[in-house]
Amino acid sequence: MCAAGTEEGLYRTSQINNRRYLGNKYKLLPFITRVVEEECGAIASVADLFAGTGAVSSAFANRVLVTNDLMYSNYICNFAWFGAEPYEPRRIVDAVVRYNALRDGGENYMTGNFADTYFSRADCGKIGWIREDIERSYEGGEINGRERAILITALLYAMDRIAKTCGHYDSYRRGAEFEQSLELSVPLAAVDNNPENRCFNEDANELVKRITADLVYIDPPYNSRQYCDTYHLLENVARWRKPQVFGVAKKMDRSGMKSKYCTRGAAEALQALIRDVRARYILLSYNNMAEKGNDRSNAKISDEDIFRILGQKGRVQVFSEGYRAFSAGKSEITENAERLFLCTCFDEER
């Protein structure tokens, strides 16, 4: 993050990677782009079907992009960064400066449900007030859909910076001080994205039936940890339907948001997905944690299944880059490899 000047004062700016997210591939972009550059011919379009933060899409921002994620909070960030709709940067700066000058957001859905949990009562007041104001400005026609998405993204990134968690919203650190207070930064989203870019918020297995791309990148969850559980609070604020929340972690009802890729049905889901892909190349990221960590971190799809499924679609090559990782729930460090499975599809004509 860095600071920039305005007539009103200073504001910070943020980039796509200024957020914590499980399985985020930002650090692997040199590896991913090297494999694509060396192994695939000219690529004019990329579909990132499990886009998460959109980090991988950002490496292909000069191509036509399709982004997709099951979570609305990721869809909204992807639309902010890559959306085809033009926007007026001045409106974002003005709103961010105004939001950061807010002293007291009063009582609202956030104070009523989350005061002094993940955020202080004062910050909950501000988060609720700002989220409400974004919706009011959009409904009143003062900002367009892309500006709404960029402001929600600015709010989610600001929440992530100060949340009293270790990045996941399964629990908060009780008794710890609230060290920082909410400050939004201006996301430096390109104004001139490709007009053909499209962003979706649906099950990849459904979307894949309606799109084509030169390269389809697939980065599904690989273990039983559901993203809607881990990031329920960001999802709640992004959707802003103000549902009832339950339990110590204050989670909303998440039925209908669960991913098949976190269940025993993962291999079957991947098989159906790959069958429906229409692309010249499929690039799959899949961790090698099968039977290595604890039960929860074990990979849901075996290497055997991956080779079998991709092998039915084309010629398969594997590339790997090793790194050392902590296995969740255990304190020892395991040798881990991030692997890319590249499938050159038999039917390249499409």
Ligand X SMILES: C[S@@+](CC[C@H](N)C(=O)[O-])C[C@H]1O[C@@H](n2cnc3c(N)ncnc32)[C@H](O)[C@@H]1O
Q: Where do contacts with ligand X occur on this chain (CB under 6 A)?
A: 21, 23-25, 50-53, 55-56, 68-71, 74, 203-204, 219-221, 227, 259, 261
Closer to ligand X at the Cβ: 221 or 293? 221
At 159, list the tokens: 């929440």
Residue with smaller CB distance to ligand X, 119 or 286: 286
Report the alpha-carbon distance of residue 162 to residue 151 in Å, rounded.
17
Distance separating alpha carbons of residues 339 and 324, to the nearest angstrom = 13
Q: In this complex, which beta carbon is closest to ligand X, that of residue 51 or of residue 124?
A: 51
Q: How far is the CB of 126 from ligand X (least distance, A)?
A: 26
CB of 256 to ligand X, least distance (A): 12
Question: Beta partners for 287?
Answer: 338
Contact between residue 217 and residue 46 where contact means Cβ atoms under 8 Å apart: yes
Q: Could you tell me whether strands 333-345 and 279-287 are parallel, antiparallel, or unpaired per DSSP bridges?
A: antiparallel
Give 193 or 226: the residue with its C-beta nearer to ligand X: 226
What angle (nearest 5°) sits at the alpha carbon of residue 201, between those of residues 242 and 311? 140
Q: How far is the CB of 112 from ligand X (least distance, A)?
A: 27
Centre a 10 Å sphere on the Cβ of residue 337 and count the other Cβ atoms it contains.
Answer: 14
Cβ contact 252:244 at 8 Å: yes
Q: How far is the CB of 62 from ligand X (least distance, A)?
A: 18
Residue 4 DSSP class? E
Give the nearest distance from C-beta 202 to ligand X in angstroms: 7
Minimum distance from residue 299 beta carbon to ligand X (Å): 12
**C-beta of 23 vs 243, nearer to ligand X:** 23
Nearer to ligand X, 77 or 134 (CB): 77
SS3 of residue 335 by DSSP: strand
Report residue 156 CA to chain centroid gap.
11
